[in-house]
Structure 1
């Protein structure tokens, strides 16, 4: 196993945090792919604004996944982000591939972002309980960005609440 650069955590806490982070990593990668699915296929009123917004949202998710993967590596773990692992481990509902309208994509994305942020908060609580303030802080930052992005996406629809 790679070197552990987080020596203050017990072995049990470190192993738990590697698992928690890899679980959220799978969800983050999955959600970034769902956002791109919407970006590529949405059509209708407000198209260009949502289309461009989704590129920014994808960038935020990729930044979050990178931070999670690097934290796993810092703890001596191996980040699990292959498409096969993500397909197997993501806890998010599969994104529907038949959606076209901006409105339908907005609703589907907001629903998944809401589920995602709940799971991020659960991961933050686990990190707090494990005494891993840095992981909790990292997850807080990812959650804050995800909540803001969900708000921006949802603001394109009266039904997305």
Structure 2
């Protein structure tokens, strides 16, 4: 493992945290690509508002990816964010292709945001148990943003019942 730029964490802890960061990095990159897939292909009533929202959401997800990747490097690891690694490591359900209906995309994205958000919350708990409060805090920040964007996207769904 390369040199770490943080004091107070032993090598074993740093290795575990870097692995945890890279696991969630794969999910967040995968989620970003799903958002862009929807952004490019959706059509229907409310198109422009959702289309623009998804660009903003993708930007925020990229910021979250940067936080996780940079933290992995600060801890002396490497950020594993190539398309090949993400395709292999993501736990997110594959995003459907050849869909254009706006409501389909809204529901598919909301479902994936909730799923990735759950894994990020699990990661923040694990980081705390391992003893890295700073990474726990980072995951808390990412979790809050994912929850907020899930809500923004889900607000475009028609009322039930």
TM category (shorter chain) comes to over 0.9
Distance 1:130 1:97 in 2: 38
Distance 1:18 1:29 in 2: 16
Shift of 1:159: 6.2
Distance 2:108 2:9 in 1: 38
Distance 1:110 1:51 in 2: 15
Q: After TM superposition, list the pairs within 5 Å mapping 1:63-102 onto structure 2.
A: 63-102=63-102
Shift of 1:2: 2.1
Q: After TM superposition, list the pairs within 5 Å mapping 1:57-136 onto structure 2.
A: 57-136=57-136
Shift of 1:62: 0.1
Instruction: After superposition, give the CA deviation of every residue in 1:125-161 in whole Å (9 maximum; x if it has no partner).
Output: 011001111101111101101100000000000369x
**Match of residue 6 from structure 2:** 6
Distance 1:63 1:30 in 2: 14
Q: Which runs of 4+ in 1 moved over 3 A?
A: none
**Contact kept? 1:24, 1:120, Cα under 8 Å:** yes
* Alignment partner of 1:45 is 2:77: no
Q: Given the two structures, how large is their TM-score scaled by the length of structure 2?
A: 0.97
Structure 1 gaps of 5+ residues are none
Describe the SS at the equivalent of 1:5: coil
**Contact kept? 1:32, 1:61, Cα under 8 Å:** yes
Shift of 1:7: 2.4
Distance 2:37 2:77 in 1: 30
**Contact kept? 1:107, 1:159, Cα under 8 Å:** no
